[in-house]
Chains A and B, each alone.
Chain A
Amino acid sequence: MHPSPAENFLELKNLDKNYGEVRAVRDTSLHIRDGEFLTLLGPSGSGKTTILMMIAGFEYPTHGEVVLQGKPINLIPPEKRDIGMVFQNYALFPHMTIFENIAFPLKMRHTQKSEIPEKVTKVLELVQLGGYEKRYPKQLSGGQQQRIALARAVVFNPPVLLMDEPLGALDKKLREHMQLELKRIQSQLKRTVVYVTHDQEEALVMSDRIAVMDEGQIQQVGSPDELYERPANKFVAGFIGESNFIEGRVVDRKDEIVTIQLKEGSKHQIRWPGELKKGEEVCFSIRPEKAFIVTRGRPSDIALDGVVQEVIYVGETTRYKIAIDTENIINVREMNVGAHGRAKQGDKIKISWNIEHLRKL
């Protein structure tokens, strides 16, 4: 079945990008929907910026095709693509005023001279910097420069807006403010955005969908909660939020009770209703906040025995590091709601969870 035009607004078809021996992007395909905020998330060197550069036209794919609104655009030079882009360092022109900066794309498109001031004023109001026309970029703060860069990238109504770590140079507080600000502007403009970041929190806050990248390949695409709740593999589970991994070989299985031999030797019994064969290598993951400590009574789901190694109080939560054997530590995070006393260092406890929160990767 062919995806509808709205589902397939911008398509990456089997993109490859090699730099000599280095394969920066490998066989990457992605459908980006009309009006969605899609984030390419990954560590540095994962190929996310290279993909953005191929969409913008600054890199030519070794193989594969970029298709925008049904048209292949590989051969179209950047200036003819009509794609807006916000650069990491803003790339505002230092010799031009704010007005001239924002008017630049309009002038290049031969917009009628009489229409330019109105368009510039309107977009400056959108980014809440009305009245800054006559200043130079140097006279603005980092956050303001960022807004001007955004205004310049949207003033000519591009169907797609690309952003390359646009908040990377800002301090944490301003960054959080700008995340919501960008989100507001995007929902106002209803523009398709492809956003690149290595900050998983930023990606979770802003995106409709996230494509998690590693080693030049997309590991998983999904909404923030899909990625967090149902990570497809170990990389995604570890990169988005924290995860505990229980990795080993199945040595016994009785009904739903599975005995796993961990890599370092200790054996543990875990309840797992799904398919699993004796002798199979398996990796389970459980989020720290979804595991809980059972100090007395029999836990409902058979779980891991452990000894509390470290208790860290961080205000709203308490973090526990629990050793299940000499090599493996399970992190548990509990809300400090005062319903039960906290476990202490050295306590022998059990770690349990609701069965639906355990993921087999």
Chain B
Amino acid sequence: MSKRENSSHTKKRFDIGYGKILLGVFAGMVFVFLVIPSFLAVPMSVTETRFLVFPPQGFTFHWFDRFATDELWREPALFSLKLAILTTLVSLILGFMTSLALVRGSLPGRKILNVFLISPIMVPVIIIAFAVYGVYAKLHLIGSTVGLVVAHSILCTPFVILVISANLYRFDISMEMAARNLGATPIKTFLFITIPIIKPGIIAAAVFCFITSLDELVIAMFLIGTRRTTLPIKIFSQLQFRIDPVVAAASTIFIAAAFVIVISLLFMARGTKETVIKEPENASFTR
């Protein structure tokens, strides 16, 4: 008896070990093939040579200075930032409203509509870019900020719908009823109860939209026109023609920004941990 217990015990431990090894291998591969190459940009950005080399030679902030002061770099960086912020706002508002209608509404055919609205995720980006290009050419929207924001929002809104819908499905409706009962109008209920409770979902959706728009290359290349450019296009074209260390400086800034965002998000998520854990508990009560 005790022997059998022992063997099953060791077997279980072996299983966990096996899984851990697989996880370790996967994490290692991600690190070697994705993380390290990105971080290589950091040392390369301080090289004194006029082209990208590894290992870097000497030490200078010259290329960062160029990135910040050269109009040819600053303009696309600021434009990309503007695009990302506008896309995030538009996608969040559209996605949130759509999710409310899909989850709370009683529209017939909601499920079909849901699949339809999420379909842009399943279409290759190049095809979206090509299709939108055709339409924009007729509407004279090529090169306009509005056009790019709309195109990027097509890409981002489905993700907002997915994330916010999931949050709304889990949301315990009696929270809203309690708020109304306690004297809150529907708008106050939405602002003080619904939004704070699903805040983690909103933050996740916002970050996704921001990053997606910020480094989107394909659609932007089709729709950007001739007057200006976005940061990803600028980097891409620079890499094609000459290998300038400013690219490494731009990448370094990108990495630093991503770090700051992720870390501040972790802090925000910690602030709302209560909510995240509480929700499933509530769901079990309502049953």
- Measured CB to CB, the residues of A under 8 A from B are 56-58, 77-85, 87-95, 104-105, 108-109, 136-138, 152-153, 156, 169
- Is B180's CB under 8 angstroms from A152's CB? no
> Which residue from chain A places its CB closest to the CB of B277 in the assembled complex?
A138
Interface centre among A77, A92, A94, A109 (most CB of B within 10 A): A94
Binds A, one of B34-42, B57-65, B99-107, B279-287: B279-287
Asked if B93 is at the interface (CB within 8 A of a chain A CB), the reply is no
Q: Is the CB of A108 within 8 A of B182?
A: yes
User: B211 in the interface, Cβ–Cβ < 8 Å?
Assistant: no
A-B contact pairs, 27 of them (CB 8 A): A57-B181, A58-B177, A77-B180, A78-B181, A79-B180, A79-B181, A83-B181, A85-B178, A85-B181, A89-B172, A91-B178, A93-B175, A93-B179, A93-B193, A93-B197, A94-B275, A94-B279, A95-B197, A95-B272, A95-B274, A95-B275, A104-B184, A108-B182, A109-B183, A136-B274, A153-B181, A156-B183
Q: How far is the CA of A83 from the CA of B172 in the complex (A)?
A: 21
- In the complex the two chains form, what is the Cα distance from A104 to B179 in whole Å? 8
Residues of B near A88 (CB, < 8 A) are: 174, 285-286
CB distance from A59 to the nearest CB of B (A): 11
Q: Which of B183, B184, B278, B286 contacts A94 (CB 8 A)?
A: B278
Interface size (B, Cβ < 8 Å)? 28
How far in angstroms is the closest Cβ of chain A from B106? 12
Contact A91 B183 (CB under 8 A): no
B188 interfacial by beta-carbon distance below 8 Å: yes
Question: A94 CA to B274 CA in the complex, in Å?
Answer: 6
Specify which of B172, B182, B185 is in contact with A152 (CB 8 Å cutoff): B182
Quick check: A89 and B274 within 8 Å, CB to CB?
A: no
Is B225 on the interface with A (CB-CB < 8 A)?
A: no
Cβ-based interface call for B196 (8 A) = yes
> How far in angstroms is the closest Cβ of chain A from B275?
5
Q: What is the chain A residue whose CB lies nearest that of B178?
A: A91
Across the A-B interface, give the 6 residue pairs with the lowest CB-CB distance, nearest first.
A89-B285, A108-B183, A91-B178, A94-B278, A105-B182, A78-B180
Query: Closest residue to A83 on the B side, CB-wise?
Result: B181
User: Measured between alpha carbons, how far is A136 from B275 in the docked complex, in Å?
Assistant: 10
Which A residues are in CB contact (< 8 Å) with B285? 88-90, 169
Cα–Cα, bound, A95→B174 (Å): 15
Within 8 A of A (CB), among B167-203: 172, 174-175, 177-185, 188, 192-193, 196-197, 199
Binding site for A on B (CB under 8 A): 172, 174-175, 177-185, 188, 192-193, 196-197, 199, 272, 274-275, 277-279, 281-282, 285-286
Residues of A within 8 A of B286 (CB): 88-89
> In the complex the two chains form, what is the Cα distance from A89 to B181 in whole Å?
15
**Shortest distance in angstroms between B68's beta carbon and chain A's nearest beta carbon?**
40
Inter-chain contacts of A83 with B (CB < 8 A): 181
Residues in A neighbouring B274, C-beta threshold 8 A: 94-95, 136-138
**A218 and B177 alpha carbons, distance in the complex (Å):** 26
A118 to chain B minimum Cβ distance, whole angstroms, is 19
Check A89/B174 contact, CB under 8 A, given A95-B196, A95-B272, A136-B274: yes
Q: Which residues of B contact A77 (CB under 8 A)?
A: 180, 185
Residues of A within 8 A of B178 (CB): 85, 87, 91-93
Q: How far is the CA of A91 from the CA of B282 in the complex (A)?
A: 8
Q: A79 with B185: in contact, given A87-B177, A89-B174, A93-B175 (CB under 8 Å)?
A: yes
Shortest C-beta distance, B176 to chain A (Å), equals 9
Per the bound structure, the CA–CA distance linking A84 and B177 in Å amounts to: 12
Are A91 and B177 closer than 8 Å at their CB atoms?
yes
CA of A92 to CA of B279, assembled, Å:
11
Residues of B within 8 A of A56 (CB): 177, 181
Chain A residues whose CB sits within 8 angstroms of the CB of B175 once the complex forms: 91, 93
Q: How far is the CB of B187 from chain A (nearest CB, A)?
A: 11
Residue of B nearest to A92 (CB): B178
